[in-house]
Structure 1
Amino acid sequence: MVSHSASVPEPVEGARAARRRSQRGGRRAPRRAAVGRRSFSSTWRALDELAQSGAQVSVRVNDLDSGRSVLAGDDHVSLPIAGLGVVPVLVETAAGLDAGGLDPLEIIDRDSEDFVAGSGLWRNLRAPALPLIDLAVFAATAGDPNAANALLAAVGHERVRARMVAIGMPRSAVLDCFRDRRGPDDAPHVAVGTTREFAELFAGLVNSSVVDAAVSAQVSEWLSLNQDLTLVASATGLDPFAHEHDAHGLLFINKTGRDRGVRAEAGVLAGPRAGVAYAMTVCFDDLSISHRLRAHDAFRVLGTDLMEYTH
Structure 2
Amino acid sequence: MADVSYLVVDADTGEELASHEPDRVLRTASVAKVLVLSALARALEAGEVGSEEVLSRTVAPPVADSGLWHRMAVAELPVGDVALLVGAVSDNWATNVLVARLGLDAVNAFGLQHTALHDVVRDHRGPGDPPTLSTGTAREWVGVLVALHRRTWVSAAVSERVLGWLAAGVDHSLVASAFGLGGLDPLVGDAGLVNKTGTDSDVRCDIGLVTGSSRVAAYAGLGNGDPVDLVPRLRALGDRVRVLVGPG
For normalisation by structure 1, the TM-score amounts to 0.75
Return 231-240 or 194-203, whichever deviates more: 231-240
1:150 aligns with 2:97: yes
Distance 2:165 2:3 in 1: 30
Measure, in 1, the Cα distance between the counterparts of 2:67 and 2:206: 18
Give the corresponding residue for 1:296: 231
**Letter of the 1:194 counterpart:** T
Question: 1:130 and 1:65, CA in 2 relative to 1: closer, same or farther beyond 3 A?
Answer: closer
Instruction: Trace 1:24-35 onto structure 2 (pairs within 5 A).
Output: none
Determine which of 7, 16, 20 is the counterpart of 1:73: 20
Q: CA deviation at 1:148?
A: 0.7
Distance 1:63 1:253 in 2: 15
Q: Which of 244, 248, 262 is the matching residue for 2:190?
A: 244
Q: Which moved more, 1:80-89 or 1:100-109?
A: 100-109
Q: Could you say which residue in structure 1 is the equivalent of 2:8?
A: 61
Q: Which runs of 4+ in 1 moved over 4 A?
A: none
Q: Deviations over 1:192-236 (max 9, x none)?
A: 111100011111101001001010011111111100011111111
Structure number, greater radius of gyration: 1
Confirm or deny: 8 A CA contact 2:168 2:188 kept in the other structure. yes
Q: Deviations over 1:77-98 (max 9, x none)?
A: 2111000010011111001111
Distance 1:91 1:123, change over 3 A: same
* CA–CA distance in structure 2, aligned partners of residues 278 and 156 of structure 1: 28
- Who is 1:231 aligned against? 174
Instruction: Provide the residue aligned with 2:115 in structure 1.
Output: 172
Contact conserved, 2:25 with 2:136, CA < 8 A, in 1?
yes
Quick check: 1:95 aligned with 2:95?
Answer: no
Residue by residue over 1:151-197, the C-alpha shift from the partner in whole angstroms, topping out at 9 and shown as x without a partner, is 111111111222x21xxx21111100000000011001111111100
Q: Distance in 2 between matches of 1:113 and 1:212?
A: 30
Q: Is the partner of 1:183 in helix, strand or coil?
A: coil
Instruction: Compare 112-121 and 299-308 and name the one that shifted more.
Output: 112-121
Matched position secondary structure for 2:120: coil
CA distance in 2, matches of 1:112, 1:214: 28
RMSD, aligned CA: 1.3
**Residue 138 (structure 1) aligned to one of 85, 90, 107:** 85
Residue in 2 that maps onto 1:284: 225
The alignment of Structure 1 onto Structure 2 pairs a total of residues equal to: 243
Mapping of 1:258-277 within 5 angstroms? 258-277=199-218
Letter in 2 for 1:280: G
Identical positions, percent: 34
Contact 2:31 2:198 in 1 (8 A): yes
Write the deviation string for residues 109-153 of structure 1: whole angstroms up to 9, x where unpaired: 113752112332001100112111101000010000001111111
Q: What are structure 2's unaligned runs of at least 5 residues?
A: none
Distance of 2:233 and 2:160 partners within structure 1: 30
